[in-house]
């Protein structure tokens, strides 16, 4: 899978929004019924840039075109090492022992199997688009939910939110409203 360009660097702070999949029904009496469709949120990102050279603008425009607008998914890595908790790693199948961590670890990390600490080793690099990996001593049980807490950069699976942009509008959004990336599950 492709990786969002690391150069040029977006303006800080990045706008990263957690999007939860909840169903909320309001009844006539004012009470609500809430149901959670997913345990883990997806992350939407808005990136703005300060003054860019024409070459840097061309890098970002070429990537947008390479992804065919909103068609193809890619990974965006946050640009600073921060604490990230409750990140989705994967689902056990009873056979696989190595899974990608959704990021690059630069500090403490913990990996959980169904919410309990697992027995594992962390592997630096080697994952999709340079992410780190975790190797469990024994394969996690079938349908076991794997999650982690890390200090480092977070890998976000996403796509462009806009599917139809002219180069002029794309450039305008780089500086004004930001290029929006829609988070995807996984």
Residue-wise pLDDT for 25-82, tens only, equals 999 999 999 998 888 999 999 999 988 999 999 999 999 999 999 999 999 999 999 9
Q: Which residues neighbour 86 within 8 Å (Cβ) at sequence distance 6 or greater? A: 40, 147, 149
Of 43, 53, 51, which Cα lies nearest the Cα of 11? 51
Burial class (CB in 10 A: 0-12, 13-18, 19+), 139: middle
> What does pTM read for this prediction?
0.89
Lowest mean pLDDT among 74-78, 85-89, 113-117, 175-179: 175-179
Q: Side-chain half-sphere of 69: how many Cα atoms within 13 Å?
A: 7
Q: What is the mean pLDDT of residues 115-125?
A: 94
3-state class (DSSP) for residue 63: helix
CB atoms within 10 A of CB 126: 11
Which one, of 150, 162, 184, 153, lies nearest residue 14 by Cα? 153
How would you list the strands of the sheet with 120-123, edge to edge?
Answer: 98-100, 133-136, 120-123
Residue 138 reports pLDDT greater than 90: yes
Q: What is d(CA 175, CA 159) in angstroms, rounded to the nearest whole number?
A: 19
What is the reported pLDDT for 186? Answer: 79
């Amino acid at each position: 899978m492709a990786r969002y360009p690391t150069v040029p660097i977006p303006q800080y702070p990045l706008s990263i929004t957690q999007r939860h999949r909840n169903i909320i029904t309001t009844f006539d009496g004012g009470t609500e019924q809430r149901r959670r469709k997913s345990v883990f949120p997806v992350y939407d990102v808005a990136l703005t840039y300060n003054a860019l050279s024409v070459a840097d603008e061309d890098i970002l425009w070429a990537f947008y075109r390479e992804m065919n607008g909103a068609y193809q998914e890619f990974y965006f890595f946050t640009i600073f090492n921060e604490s990230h908790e409750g990140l989705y790693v994967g689902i056990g199948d009873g056979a696989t022992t190595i899974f990608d961590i959704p990021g690059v670890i630069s500090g403490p990390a913990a990996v959980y199997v169904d919410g309990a600490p697992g027995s594992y080793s962390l592997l630096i690099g080697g994952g999709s688009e340079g992410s780190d990996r975790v190797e469990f001593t024994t394969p996690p049980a079938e349908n076991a939910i794997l999650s982690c807490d890390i200090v480092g950069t977070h890998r976000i699976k996403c796509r462009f939110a806009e599917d139809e942009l002219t180069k002029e509008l794309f450039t305008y959004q780089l500086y004004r409203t930001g290029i929006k990336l829609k988070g995807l599950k996984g």
